Amino acid sequence: MSNEIIRYIAEQSGGLLIAVILIMRVEGKLDTLNNEISRLTDTMTRFLLTFSQSEQSQK
């Protein structure tokens, strides 16, 4: 009985460790994606502001 409990706990802790590692990897990728989206938004905003000012100066 005791060996079964120890084996069960070891199997569950192994699964938990794998889940935590996968969650951390996904979190890292989401952080990278968030940073890239922010950078893209900033770039697009700068472009639109420059384009808007260029259009106004031509009038």
Residue 28 DSSP one-character state: H
Q: Which two tokens stand for residue 53?
A: 């000012």
| Average pLDDT of the chain to the nearest whole number | 92
pLDDT of residue 6 exceeding 70? yes
d(CA 48, CA 10): 57
Total structural domains within the chain:
1
- Kindly report the length of the chain: 59
pLDDT in the model for residue 53 = 87
Look at residue 11 and tell me if it is in a domain: no
Look at residue 32 and tell me if it is in a domain: yes
d(CA 21, CA 25): 6
Look at residue 10 and tell me if it is in a domain: no
Look at residue 26 and tell me if it is in a domain: yes
Look at residue 9 and tell me if it is in a domain: no
- Residue 59 pLDDT level (bands cut at 50, 70, 90): low
- The domain in which residue 38 lies consists of 22-59
User: Quick check: helix, strand or coil at residue 29?
Assistant: helix
pLDDT in the model for residue 56 = 80
